[in-house]
Amino acid sequence: MNTHTYEDLAALHAIAKALAQPWDLRDQLEQVLNEMKVRLGMQRGMISLLDRDSGESWLEVAHGVNLEGLEISYQMGEGITGKVAQTGRPMAVPNLGKEALFLDRTGARRFLNREELSFLCVPIMYDSRVVGILSADKGTKNVTDLDGELAILSSVAELIAKAVHILALEEENRRLRRIVNQGRAPSVDMIGHSKGMQEVFGLISHVADSGTTVLVQGETGTGKELVARAIHMNSPRSKGPLIQFNCAAIPDTLIESELFGHERGAFTGAMRQRRGRFEEAHNGTIFLDEVSELSASAQAKLLRVLQEKQFQPLGSSRVITTNARVIAATNRHLEECIAAGRFRNDLYYRLSVFPIYLPPLRDRGNDIILLADHFVLKYSKEMGKPVKRISTSVIEVFLSHQWPGNVRELENCIERAILLTEGDAIEMIHLPPSLQAKMREGDPTEKGRLSTVILSQERSLILEALKETRGNQSQAARLLGTTKRIIQYKIQKLGIDPAKFRTKNRTSPVINLS
């Protein structure tokens, strides 16, 4: 077993201090590579990021290597870097001059005597998977124990793992934005790469071309109106009207008039005839938000429209036929409303011909960073401010926050931060007081730890397992390689309700619209 020398520990301490600085991630990692040179005698340090989908590694941060104009990448298993990415095991080359696998794609050792150089390469592991590769040269005459050199380099890799993971997420999100911008997304405002959102995109593509009634379910702020707009804009009705109506924003006494219209004199104050929203939506789409708030009388009339495509305005004997497609949305569990006698059972079955469930933001994992970056670009442009990035500490808070207000809360948070910041980065001081207080509640020495991100990933894994097993905790435990008791503990700790997976099978074909 290798033990670190005093010099090794001093180097690790210096590296930990560099990672604690409020700098850009690349600046932090470049300083780490500099400390490796100054304190450990390791030169030409390089950090490559691993694309988990393609298996390709690309060189992102380097010290003592000129990367200007270069785009260096390695396929899985290609060269030493590709081998380490593939196997997840360190590799040491005592003499570079005798190693055929060494490619020197950077050209940094072109004019050096490779016989005098050793090469060290270790995986950067985060959440039990390879997220990057750390490598460096060291003079052969200064290497007496290759295993010891790999051990200290592996310790450095452990320290930088979270920073590299976040940097890889940022780069992945930049690439995804380019794909989304270039490809055919269901809506320019719909952003997400998580499994849940890919399922939503797939469902939208399936139902858009039809005239089927759609019920969009999800918590407040998840973007249900965006789904309705995406379905309409990708349908043959896109040139027709999209009429949006919030059923909770209108008093019960006026809802029927608003939806179905009225004749002059139909009620006190009805001074003229008025067309209803269903009539306005003819040959287009009507979006009924918060449909659970409809009165009993309005529910009965809506049921008739869905069944017969006909309705009567208030105070009129004439029957109007409509070809409007209905998309309804609710943040309530309609089954509970039915049980409480507040919603018609027959209307529910008419509305839920094609249900679409929008996952809450806390279950969408890395989409949080993708959305945050999108809102930074949006509001920095609107306000004419040079904000280009989000600090690492803010990203950590975003990943650990539960987001009860979902995407709307995140958007409001970013808008406020852009308004407050005077520099080019969003820092902790620019966040709402509630999020700042959340950070202060913990021990300051614990900030920047792996726990926040690990909890987010852990939650995502458990949710996916419960979806796959339809809420069966024993099967989910076996799927995750753990015990039912541990899964039950985690479910309680993370506030997950396994019951919602038992009655509904929300799996669907995934179609990549980009």
Query: Per-residue pLDDT tens for 495-504?
Result: 788 877 775 4
Cα–Cα distance for residue pair 167/45, rounded to 1 Å: 17
Q: Is the CB of residue 45 less than 8 Å from the CB of residue 33?
A: yes
The mean pLDDT value for 12-21 works out to 88
Residues of the chain with CATH 3.40.50.300: 197-357
Rg (CA), the chain: 29
172 vs 299, residue with greater confidence: 299
Cα–Cα distance for residue pair 146/169, rounded to 1 Å: 32
Mean pLDDT over each residue of the chain, to the nearest integer: 83
Q: Is pLDDT of 160 > 50?
A: yes
- Nearest CA-CA partner of 135 in 50, 67, 33: 33
Report the pLDDT value the prediction gives residue 445, as an integer from 0 to 100: 41
Instruction: Look at residue 89 and give its three-state secondary structure.
Output: coil
Q: pLDDT tier at 474 (50, 70, 90 boundaries)?
A: confident
Report the pLDDT value the prediction gives residue 441, as an integer from 0 to 100: 55
β-partners of residue 262 are 274, 314
Domain topology for 452-501: Arc Repressor Mutant, subunit A (1.10.10)
| Two tokens, residue 399 | 């990943």
Query: Per-residue pLDDT tens for 221-269?
Result: 999 999 999 999 999 999 999 999 999 888 877 888 888 887 765 555 5
Cα–Cα distance for residue pair 113/123, rounded to 1 Å: 26
Q: Is the CB of residue 196 less than 8 Å from the CB of residue 364?
A: yes
Residues of the chain with CATH 3.30.450.40: 6-178
CATH code for residues 6-178: 3.30.450.40
**Range with top average pLDDT, 80-94, 311-325, 474-488:** 80-94
Report the pLDDT value the prediction gives residue 266, as an integer from 0 to 100: 53
| CATH superfamily of the 197-357 domain | P-loop containing nucleotide triphosphate hydrolases (3.40.50.300)
Cα–Cα distance for residue pair 21/203, rounded to 1 Å: 44
Residues of the chain with CATH 1.10.8.60: 361-449
CATH architecture of 361-449: Orthogonal Bundle (1.10)
Rounding to the nearest 10 degrees, give the CA dihedral for residues 247, 248, 254, 259: -10
Q: 210-214 long-range CB contacts below 8 Å, 24 or more apart?
A: 210/235, 211/325, 212/325, 212/353, 212/354, 213/306, 213/325, 213/326, 213/327, 213/328, 213/350, 213/351, 213/353, 213/354, 214/326, 214/327, 214/328, 214/353, 214/354, 214/355, 214/356
Report the pLDDT value the prediction gives residue 254, as an integer from 0 to 100: 80
